[in-house]
Each structure stands twice: as structure tokens, then as C-alpha cells.
């Protein structure tokens, strides 16, 4: 009798239990797909820190440029757009804000 029920339990587990478990966690992941408030606050703090560090690097570059007129940082490493004097981080923050409102 027991040996007859084992295949039934295995089939029930494979065709009912396993899909239920997968679908349950898929819906949980979709519910919690966005960033938490704590994560957003951390990102904002990191954004502000990156801006301050960028400002400090720009100050150091100006000081070095005064001492050495041939000094020029490669364009690929610059975070400040020389034409508009905008920070790259501002553009990233604007893009993130637009994605939040969608």
C-alpha cells in the first residue's frame, strides 16, 4: 500500500507543489521589485558625496593647473561638462527622478 502512494505523492509534488512555490516567489519578487526608502536615501547620500568629491577634484585640478600650466586632465575623466558647468551626477539624478515618476 505504501509503495503505491509514493508515485502519487511525487507527481503531486512535481505538478502542484513545485509550480506553486515558484509562482509564489515570483509574485513576491514583483511586489518588492523597487528600491526601498532606505535604499533611496542611501543613493541620495552617495550622490551628494560624489558631487562633493567631484568639486574637490575640480579644486585640486585648478590648483595643479596654476602650478603647472601644461596640466590637463583627460576629457574621459572629467565629470563636469565644461560648456554648461553641469555635473554628470545631476543628469543621472534627473534620469532617476524621471524613472521614479513613471
Q: Regarding predicted confidence, which is higher, 100 or 56?
A: 56
**For residue 56, what pLDDT band results from cuts at 50, 70 and 90?**
very high
Q: What is the pTM of this model?
A: 0.44
pLDDT per position as a tens digit, 64-100: 888 887 777 655 555 554 545 556 566 666 776 776 6
Residue 87's DSSP bridge partners are 80
CB atoms within 10 A of CB 58: 15
Q: How confident is the model at residue 48 (pLDDT cuts 50, 70, 90)?
A: very high
Running DSSP on this structure, what letter comes out for residue 78?
Answer: -
For 6-29, the pLDDT digits (tens) are 888 989 888 999 999 999 999 988
Amino acid at each position: 500500500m505504501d509503495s503505491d502512494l509514493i508515485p502519487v505523492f511525487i507527481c503531486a509534488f512535481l505538478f502542484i507543489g513545485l509550480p506553486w512555490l515558484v509562482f509564489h516567489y515570483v509574485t513576491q519578487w514583483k511586489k518588492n521589485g523597487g528600491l526601498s526608502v532606505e535604499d533611496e536615501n542611501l543613493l541620495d547620500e552617495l550622490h551628494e558625496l560624489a558631487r562633493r568629491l567631484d568639486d574637490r577634484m575640480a579644486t585640486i585640478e585648478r590648483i595643479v593647473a596654476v602650478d603647472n600650466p601644461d596640466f590637463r586632465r583627460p576629457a574621459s575623466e572629467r565629470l563636469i561638462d565644461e560648456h554648461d558647468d553641469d555635473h554628470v551626477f545631476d543628469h543621472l539624478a534627473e534620469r532617476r527622478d524621471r524613472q521614479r515618476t513613471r
